[in-house]
Homo-oligomer: A and B are copies of this chain.
Amino acid sequence: MINYPIKRKTQNKTNNRANLGMTLENDIETTNQYYLINDIAVIHKKPTPIQVVGVSYPARNKAKIVEAYYKTPSTTDFNGIYKGRYIDFDAKETNSKTSMPLKNIHLHQIEHLKQVASHGGIAFLIVHFKQFNEYYILPSAILFKYWDLQNDEKKGRKSIPYQTFKDSAYPISFGYIPRLDYLKVIEQHYFAK
């Protein structure tokens, strides 16, 4: 049940771990387990949506799925509750040193985060700039601003500049236990007022 975090080696700028796409997600899931075990918050990753087409029954009580396809998620990957507040976010990684491309984000994820924010939830992205090994909480208001402007000929652009993260997002420090204490940052910016 408990996956104890494994101390990771110091990373060089060249990231040589095999399963890059899963790393941020795993770090968040490990952190969520820490939150759950220590009764800090109840936040889970939603399962990946899969469309099942074919099932066979090789053993009496065991369904074996033999044909299925990945579906596009209709919401974000993570949600739950912290101190009575609804929390909702997605995790994004980029190799870029200059910006986070907006094409990493689906329209329905934006729509979902807007709905969450308008109903009083805490909505954000956790963004990992892999080349710097830096993690940020990007408040949804900043995300929406860039998203809504992206097709504006004068002010629009297809990405959020790294400098915007430096100036306006909230850094998360990478640690041992928990690995990515993002709720500490949420606490500072959304609760401590």
Contact = CB atoms under 8 A, between A and B. Distances in A.
Interface of A: 36, 39, 41-42, 44, 46-50, 52, 62-71, 73-75, 79-86, 88, 112, 115-116, 118-121
Contact of A70 (B48, B65, B79): B65
Given A47-B48, A79-B79, A64 B74 contact: no
B81 A70 contact: no
Contacts of A63: 69-70
A61 to B, nearest CB: 11
Given A65-B67, A68-B65, A81 B47 contact: no
B74 A65 contact: no
Contact of A42 (B66, B80, B115): B115
Nearest to A120: B84
